[in-house]
Amino acid sequence: MSKYENDVKQLLTLIGGKENIGAVSHCMTRMRFVLNDPSKANEKEIANIPSVKGTFTQAGQYQVIIGNDVSVFYNEFTSYAGIEGVSKDAVKNAAQTNQNLAQRIMGALGEIFAPIIPALICGGLILGFRNIIGEIDLLQNGTASLTDIYPFWQGVYDFLWIIGEAIFHLLPVGIVWSITKKMGTTQILGIVLGLTLVSPQLLNGFSVAATPASEIPKWDFGFAQVDMIGYQGQVIAAMMAGFVLVYLEKFFKKHSPEVISMIVVPFCSLVPAVVIAHTIVGPIGWTIGNFIGDIVYSGLTSNIRIVFAAIFGFVYAPIVMTGLHHMTNAIDTQLVTLYGGTMLWPMIALSNIAQGSAVLAMTVLQKKNERAEQVNVPACISCYLGVTEPALFGVNLKYVFPLICGMIGSATAAVISIGFGVQAVSIGVGGLPGILSIFSQYWGKFLLAMAAAIVIPFVLTILVGKKKLPASELVGESKPQTESAAQTESTPQQSAQPQEAAADVNKLCAILSGKVIPIEEVEDDVFSQKIMGDGIAFQPSDETVVAPCDATISVVMDGSRHACGMALPNGMEILIHIGINTVNMNGDGFEAFVNTGDKVKCGQPLIKFSKEKIAKAGYSDTTMLIITEQGNAKNIQFHTNIDAEAGKTVVSEFE
């Protein structure tokens, strides 16, 4: 009997059978399926398979999280199913056929905005703080603000604007850069094009509306005149300009001889792109952006705004599950540009809170279900902090009724928010910290909406859950032991040896030189939500991964060489994963120095990678160190936000 025979049989049946599999592959931790009919996959039952740690759908791929042993599981699965696996690129290409045009557009939009969102959140918090110290009359019986009384706070208020201006006024630079990064073209050309859209020689885009047409400066070419208008804060215009540059560069790269491409491609791409941006796509994008912003603003301020708010609040969570929510980032930014604030973002933050409250109720209902709590607790925390996908896919959608209860609470909170005209200074942190982005004069009203988003979903989920949840879901069911576990229990003399050696293993050293960051900051939900286990991440300054301690190599990712697993004497198992989605590079830029079964010493080189190639492929080189099995270790502590030296700096300690 193979190790995962029963699990493999269950998964094949629950995923819809062999005929429902369009393609299958695997990375270091996950099985990646392209399903002919995704609706046939029984996600609830798949999540209950003993070896499955979770499931989610991303970019048309149905991903089943297995863990370090995924290669063994994959081999047994393909053998039993009688199918052949394919490359990661083939799975990715096949997955695109499962997406309609709208999904592909939203997916691209999400990838463009993902690198920019941290800056937008930071900018929103800064504008909110400036609003508190400069616009709220807290002193002298409500007649003066901090900046009116104290020169220090006036200095802080003025100084912080350089960050706010850089983020919101120069936003087109970030957008065009992100497009070139995603499309794999020359990023510095994107930055230069973005800078031409916000040049100080142009009339600032935020001043255009207040400037008479006769006073707008122009370029005079004799036969034609072009308005010298900047595109500060404009999203659609910047995106259109970015794609013009990308396709021009790809065209000239394809048709230019290699010997002169260094000269021809940049010049023939950038110059026409700048001309087209300022004469054609810029004005068109400006008009489209203003039209979208005006339509949404009309809905938010019209006589039917309560209906608009109720519908938006109710459907936002399902919109997140489709990926269409990325469009709201562009709309929010446009609203801030046009009207100096946005009423859309507060409703989004409230939706996060409502779904998190539904998960909180599930945590209370399932407090005796240990397996459920491993998902519920981190999902609830992340949702309250603005990241909803783990809560939506891992909990609420699984049981359906928490999702509906959260949607009802979100709709109610949205009505309260819009009814009082609550506005945010910009996009900010979602969930509970969302109040920091709200104009201070609306804090009391937003707190009322937050209360509705917390109480209503929680109470509804508790009431419905007590009736709908079976006893097995409330207290959990014991999982059947895997063969390896049974063998461990049946041979106590063998298990004693690792325990004996455990005293010699009580710390992990840095696997790379660079900055150590909390795992929660990694831009991949499987890691940041600790689905695979707790750990830390590295922003590397070098390119050689070393062993964090004396251990045995349990697995090396064949082909891609971007990850490896290690087994420690005390029973602990750890995973080292270089980069995010770097499995798609198929080993290009990676060199492994060890093989499965090798015994290594602390500081010994394991894998070398190319930061340049990872960046050129459009991926992050953030590297994770994850404890996938705790073994006999206790009181595990991690040291983050420090600069580490590979093989020397202690980053984790345990007993």
Candidate ranges 4-8, 382-386, 457-461, 468-472; pick with highest mean pLDDT:
457-461
Residue 95 near residue 60, CB atoms below 8 Å: yes
Q: Are strands 21-26 and 30-35 parallel, antiparallel or unpaired?
A: antiparallel
Confidence of residue 59 (pLDDT cuts 50, 70, 90): low
Residue with the bigger pLDDT between 517 and 585: it is 517
Q: Among candidates 322, 324, 307, which has minimal Cα distance to 411?
A: 307
| 530-578 residue pLDDT tens | 877 889 999 999 999 999 999 999 888 777 889 898 989 888 889 999 9
Greater pLDDT, 71 or 341:
341
| Mean of pLDDT values over 305-331 | 77
Q: Which amino acid is at 199?
A: S
**Cα–Cα dist 109/179, whole Å:** 9
Report residue 75's pLDDT band, with 50, 70 and 90 as the boundaries: confident
For the chain, the maximum distance between any two Cα atoms, rounded to a whole number of angstroms, is 93
- Do the Cβ atoms of 431 and 352 come closer than 8 Å? yes
- Let me know: does 276 contact 241? Beta carbons within 8 Å: yes
Which two structure tokens, joined as six digits, stand for 528? Answer: 């940041």
pLDDT given at position 303: 86
Distance CA 327, CA 211 (A): 30
b/e burial code for range 358-387 (CB count within 10 A of at least 16 → b): bbbbbbebbeebeebbebbebbbbbbbbbb
Work out the pLDDT band at 489, boundaries 50, 70, 90: very low
Instruction: Flag the least confident range among 267-276, 513-522, 558-567.
Output: 558-567
pLDDT at 68: 66
Task: Please enumerate in sequence order all residues whose Cβ is within 8 A of that of 304, keeping only pairs 6 or more positions apart, or say none.
Answer: none
- Residue written as tokens 């996060």? 352
Q: Which member of 27, 383, 549, 564 is catalytic?
A: 27
Average pLDDT over residues 434-440: 82
For residue 476, the model assigns a pLDDT of 55
E strands of 391-487, at which residues?
A: none
Q: How far apart are CA 408 and CA 549, in angstroms?
A: 50
Q: What is the CB neighbour count within 10 angstroms for residue 97?
A: 12
Mean pLDDT to the nearest integer, 400-416 = 94
What's the pLDDT band for 408 if we cut at 50, 70, 90? very high
| pLDDT at site 493 | 37
DSSP reduced 3-state for 320: helix
Our measurement of the distance from residue 492's CA atom to the centroid of its chain's CA atoms, rounded to an integer in Å, reads: 43
Q: CB–CB of 396/440 below 8 Å?
A: no
Range picked from 111-115, 332-336, 342-346 for highest mean pLDDT:
342-346
CA distance 55 to 500: 37
pLDDT (0 to 100) of residue 547 = 94
**Cα 258 to Cα 349: distance, rounded to the nearest angstrom:** 50
**Residues facing residue 63 across a β-bridge:** 32, 56
The enclosing H or E element of 646 equals: none
Answer yes or no: is pLDDT of 428 > 80: no
Per residue in 16-53, is it b (16+ CB within 10 Å) or e — as a string?
beeebbbbbbbbbbbbbbbbeebeebebeebbebebbb
| Mean pLDDT in residue range 337-352 | 86
pLDDT grade for 190, boundaries at 50, 70 and 90: very high
Mean pLDDT of 260-266: 90
Q: pLDDT for 282-297, tens place per residue?
A: 999 888 877 877 787 7
Contacts of 127 (CB under 8 A, 6+ apart): 164, 425, 426, 437
Give residues with Cβ within 8 angstroms of 390, minimum separation 6.
375, 378, 379, 382, 383, 525, 529, 531
Is the pLDDT score of 414 beyond 90? yes
Is there a catalytic annotation at residue 27?
A: yes
pLDDT given for residue 389 in this prediction: 63
- Give yes or no for a contact between 180 and 615, defined as CB atoms under 8 angstroms apart: no
Nearest-CA neighbor of 318 among 354, 372, 342, 292?
354
Q: Stretch 149-169: mean pLDDT, rounded? A: 89
